[in-house]
Amino acid sequence: MNIHALLINRFSEALETMGVENAPIPVSRSARPEFGEYQFNGAMALAKQLRQKPRDIAEKIVEIVKLDDVASKLEVAGPGFINVHLNNEWLANQCELALHDPRIGVAKSPEQTVVVDYSSPNLAKEMHVGHLRTTIIGDAVVKVLEFLGHKVIRQNHMGDWGTQFGMLLAHLSDKLEQEVAETALSDLEDFYREAKVRFDDEEGFADRAREYVVKLQGGDEKCLSLWEKFIDVSIAHSEDVYKKLNVSLTRADIMGESAYNHDLANVISELKEKGIAVEDQGAQVVFIPELADKEGNPAVYIVQKSGGGYLYATTDLAAMRYRSGTLNADRTLILTDARQALHFKQTEIVGRKAGFMEEAQTYEHCPFGMMLGSDGKPFKTRTGGTVKLVELLDEAVERAGKLIAERDNDLSADELAEVARKVGIGAVKYADLSKNRTTDYMFNWDTMLSFEGNTAPYLQYAYTRVKSLFRKAGVAIETMPVDINIVEKQEHALSVLLLQFEEVVGLVSRDATPHVLCTYLYELASAFMSFYEACPMLKDGIELKVRDSRLALSALVASTLSQGLNLLGIETLEKM
């Protein structure tokens, strides 16, 4: 059920009856419960057109709008707002329908094909915290889109090509004389450092490295097979991280930079033919007057270096064309940190001029801020190195394990390990997902692992609370009677929230903002806690009908929490 959409429909019907067509229908959530749950505030804007006072228009709308089934009360307030108070009977009814529906009442959207480019680590090095946000946020967005019925094509645009591979392959070739690739590459960070030292200091090595690049790009077989060995091991490292993170990416989703290599020359010749790219000091560049500086000089977007080499930008143009043309993407979402915003803005302008995308197809760069340490500086190890993701995740599980062991519980050692994993990984993911992605955020173990506040452990715990309620009541969720009756204000508030789930996932899919879902789940869990305090279920003397109605609401809370956490890629537990 999408209450927001329903109200918009009903208000727009009412306006049509009044002879007003195509007017904006501003319906928003009310700021305070005494103003009802939703508010229509379009009357003010119509005053001029209808030559009437806004309050009179609002009164008129209230008279004709068909909301008898949905609203218990409509009132005109202030200069001409219409407050909508939702009807308890209708709410109860909708909650019952949701409980009977495996999709908990969420309708599918008209299907779109959506390409989501996320994670996309550089294979020359180990995956580090810089790729945590894109991986986690991207995976949540993908799951929400799929839940809403869209066709999602994951594209892991791995950095598996480029000049640094010359240095890496020359070093690998030497190492393979003594050991196998898996051993040589067991620590990519070390491997990269060694190769770099040789490149900088060892005589003749840099030349060999350059030779390897030329050979690799020329399709030399020995070189290609070395490269394949390298990226194979490196991909396996990333897969370890994905598995630990419970992220849905597989090898089939990899469409790395190398996959576009064959098409880069075509991209350049097309840009030249269309007069979009021109020669400038030996390089091929596109001037972008739309992004001129203060003096009016157009931005310069290089698509081919003077030596003939291609760039990150060239690959992204080829990728754009492939996604719009071959994959038929209605939307392309790309998740990277905000420092790449200009690059994607330029790429979009150039690609559209070249006709690599249709007008209606969207190109949406979804930027995010950086992960900072508690000192407010970019997150680093104590010695100033980059933090490897695998190590960070292992530490999370270890810390969660210690915290759980301190709590009062009757978990076996195996169960404890399982809980520690779900809570530790859940905490890291949720800490990231719950922040508005556009801002930097501070990484802090204590807050993210806290059982209080907007955290994964709090939500996981709320879920186990509902589950244990059913165990104590001796009632099975699947077979219990569903007859909801809403009386108390906490029941009312809880049911409204439960029915807002669809509205919330709709926003996440539109804006690629999982934090909206996090905030919602936190509000839902908190509303459940208040309801639980105010509306007893297991106390003696509670009428069976009342108890069952409240249990039914609780069951819908459990399904909504579990569906929501599942979309965020966070696992739930039966007890903790």
Q: Which is nearer to ligand ARG, 337 or 488 (CB)?
A: 337
Region label for 219, one of left (φ > 0), alpha (ψ between -120 and 50) or beta (otherwise): left
Alpha helices in 185-263 (DSSP H): 188-201, 205-217, 221-245
Q: Which is nearer to ligand ARG, 58 or 320 (CB)?
A: 320
Helix (H) or strand (E) holding 448: helix 445-448
The minimum distance between CB 149 and ligand ARG, in angstroms, equals 25
Query: What are the CA-CA distances from residue 87 to residues 72, 93, 391, 432, 486 (Å)?
Result: 4, 10, 52, 37, 9
The minimum distance between CB 317 and ligand ARG, in angstroms, equals 10
Q: Which is nearer to ligand ARG, 116 or 213 (CB)?
A: 116
Phi, psi of 163 (to 5 degrees): -65, -30
Structure token digits, residue 509? 């899919």
Q: Which is nearer to ligand ARG, 106 or 142 (CB)?
A: 142
334 binds ligand ARG (CB under 6 A): yes
* The residue type at 359: E
Among 125, 154, 157, 208, binds ligand ARG (CB under 6 A): 157
Q: Which is nearer to ligand ARG, 319 or 448 (CB)?
A: 319
Q: Which is nearer to ligand ARG, 36 or 159 (CB)?
A: 159
CA–CA dist 472, 109 (Å, integer): 39
Q: What order do you get walking across the sheet with 71-77 strand by strand?
A: 27-29, 38-40, 81-86, 71-77
259 binds ligand ARG (CB under 6 A): no
346 binds ligand ARG (CB under 6 A): no
Among 36, 80, 105, 159, binds ligand ARG (CB under 6 A): 159
Among 1, 259, 318, 319, binds ligand ARG (CB under 6 A): 319
* The residue type at 219: G
Positive or negative torsion for Cα 325, 327, 331, 337? negative
87 binds ligand ARG (CB under 6 A): no
Which range of residues in 116-124, 350-358, 363-371, 555-563 is near ligand ARG by CB under 6 A? Answer: 116-124
The minimum distance between CB 367 and ligand ARG, in angstroms, equals 11
Among 39, 83, 87, 120, binds ligand ARG (CB under 6 A): 120
Structure token digits, residue 380? 């680093």
Which range of residues in 76-84, 115-123, 193-201, 489-497 is near ligand ARG by CB under 6 A? Answer: 115-123
The minimum distance between CB 316 and ligand ARG, in angstroms, equals 5
Among 117, 253, 432, 503, binds ligand ARG (CB under 6 A): 117
237 binds ligand ARG (CB under 6 A): no
CA–CA dist 500, 509 (Å, integer): 15
CA–CA dist 462, 453 (Å, integer): 11
CA–CA dist 61, 63 (Å, integer): 5
In which residue are the tokens 């508690």 written?
Answer: 374
Q: Which residues bind ligand ARG (CB under 6 A)?
A: 117, 120-122, 157, 159, 316, 319, 334, 336
